[in-house]
Structure 1
Amino acid sequence: MPSMRDLKRRIRSIRNTQHITRAMKMVAAAKLRKAQAQVTAARPYTEKLEEVVGRLMGSVDLMSQPLAAPREVKKVGYVLITGDRGLAGGYNANLIRLAEERLQTETRPAALVAVGRKGRDYFRRRQVEIVRSFTDIGDEPDITQARELARQLVDLYLAGTLDEINLIYSRFYSALRQVPRVDRLLPIAADDARGGGVEDYIYEPSPAAVLQSLLPRYCEIKVYRALLEAKASEHGARMTAMDNATENAAEMIDKLTLSFNRARQAAITREIVEVVAGADALK
């Protein structure tokens, strides 16, 4: 049985860890509120843009649009969006598992674009081809970062390095629920963008010209939304993980305190017995 000194040292150590996890939970909760507000604000704009693009794609010849024209897929790219840090429960592990499953079941040549240090480090050790990597996105992604990432993805697609690009990220529903998913980014298909005909609208200068100017923005907004969803999911997963760690630390402290009290009581009882035995010996 551990000594009283060892038990007291363990209780002190676990209590210090509990202070850290509680502080991390509060920080994650504050960041989650901001990230959730950004996600909520971005969704209506993204959905309306998808509707407009889908309506336009139903009225033009897609072969004239480089980002939407169908072509033979010789190489597939997966954009894996993970976090730069751990201590977020199974958030990073679930995304990496999904990406690994897609890469293993992919019948065509595939490559990876890693956004986040966790995904990059994992697949770099497994000799997976990584054509681009982005780290240090920060806790609040902005449109400038999304625009640069989207520009590089579009360049890879137009150059023929990748013939299809998919986003792997976690969609945020609540602090307790984040669902990893795969969305196609390029080529943009009419099924990916919701919309119908154009009979009620007049476009200037022409539907094809409007669509050509909207498709790059559509890619930027889709990447931006994925970054926001991923960051909100990461904060929610980290807050939940730190809350569970704090509760587990409290349970361990209670058990160790009970063991400490028992050991102290046993020591007191033993001392009393020794005193009584000594007094009897002197009689």
Structure 2
Amino acid sequence: MASLKEVRNRIVSVNSTQQITKAMKMVAAAKLRRAQDSILQMRPYAQKLGEMLLTVSSGSESAADSPLKAVRAVEKVLIVVVTSDRGLCGAFNTNIIKATIQLIESKYAAQAAKGNVEIFAIGKKGAESLIRRGFTVNTAYTDLFGRLSFVNAKNAAEEIMRDFSEGRYDKVDIVYNEFKNVATQIIHTDPYLPIVAENQSTKSKKTEVNYIFEPDEDEILAELIPKSLKIQLYRAVLESNASEQGARMTAMDKATENAQELLKDLRLVYNRTRQAAITKEILEIVGGAEALKN
């Protein structure tokens, strides 16, 4: 049985840990409110912009000439992986890493065997984990969450679009967590490039619409296509940020509850050990008294 001093030290240690986890839960809750407001405001705009792009570009000859719509034989693949910069958020990062590896093994195994699969990491945890597994990782934007803004996400999207347009990659996918609620995050594996127009079955169900372009079709599509892709990446980053704070809040809440249960058990052990020590001392005193009496 552990000594009283050892049990007392463990109680102090667990109590300090519980205070830290409780504080981290409160910080995550405050960040979650801001992140949730941001993504709820972004979603309608991003969805409508994406619908507009697909609808307009599907019937446009000018859009067909865009290098961002070029469909090539898939030889070189880039996977954009959005994780967090810090840990202590449960299985948030682990699930993304597993989904990324599963995507590569199931869809791009042939390209991976040739060394033609690269990772564009947004978030330090994903970069570190995938580097350890031997993947080629671009770590230029691993600190994006430390200064999260549309400008920084835009720069990352522009780099991806430039590499795709120059033929460095033939296919770009993005893996991220979509925020549903505090306890639930949904992993998404979405195609990013090339832009795929609406299929014929979908188009046939819709009424044909003649658009009047102002100032002109080429200029509008040249602006709309890159902007839509930038917004799509920024939305994925905002979704991941809100999901991270929700996951961390849940993880710290569970850690606080577990610390409380551990403190309860340790206090019980402490009281039992203390009672045993007192009983032993009483028996020694009584035994000594009886010995003197005899």
Band of TM-score, shorter chain: over 0.9
Conserved? CA contact 1:21–1:243, under 8 Å: yes
Q: Secondary structure at the match of 2:176?
A: strand
Q: What is aligned with 2:187?
A: 180
Q: What is aligned with 1:169?
A: 176
**Pair 1:122–1:166, CA change in 2 (3 A):** same
Q: What is aligned with 2:255?
A: 245
Conserved? CA contact 2:123–2:145, under 8 Å: no
1:26-59 CA distance string (max 9 Å, x none): 1111101100100000001001101211210221
CA drift of 1:133 comes to: 3.4
For residues 1-283 of structure 1, the aligned pairs below 5 Å read 1-61=1-61, 62-105=63-106, 106=108, 107-108=110-111, 109-131=116-138, 133-138=140-145, 141-191=148-198, 199=209, 201-283=211-293
CA drift of 1:198 comes to: 5.7
Conserved? CA contact 2:58–2:198, under 8 Å: no
Q: Which amino acid aligns with 2:76?
A: K
CA drift of 1:264 comes to: 0.8
Q: Secondary structure at the match of 2:163?
A: helix
Aligned-pair identity in percent equals 40
1:63-108 CA distance string (max 9 Å, x none): 3122123233221110011111111110111101111112223133
Q: Which amino acid aligns with 1:180?
A: I
CA drift of 1:137 comes to: 1.6
Cα distance between partner residues in 1 of 2:23 and 2:255: 11
Moved more, 69-78 or 10-19: 69-78
Listed as ranges, the gaps of 5+ residues in structure 1 are: none
Q: Which runs of 4+ in 1 moved over 4 A?
A: 194-198
Conserved? CA contact 2:80–2:175, under 8 Å: yes
CA drift of 1:205 comes to: 3.4
TM-score relative to the length of structure 1? 0.94
Cα distance between partner residues in 2 of 1:197 and 1:140: 44
Listed as ranges, the gaps of 5+ residues in structure 2 are: none
Number of aligned residue pairs: 282
CA drift of 1:207 comes to: 3.8
CA drift of 1:208 comes to: 4.3
1:177-229 CA distance string (max 9 Å, x none): 0111111111111249x985661642223444322210000011001000000
Cα distance between partner residues in 2 of 1:262 and 1:274: 18
Conserved? CA contact 1:35–1:140, under 8 Å: no
TM-score relative to the length of structure 2? 0.90
Q: CA RMSD in A?
A: 1.9
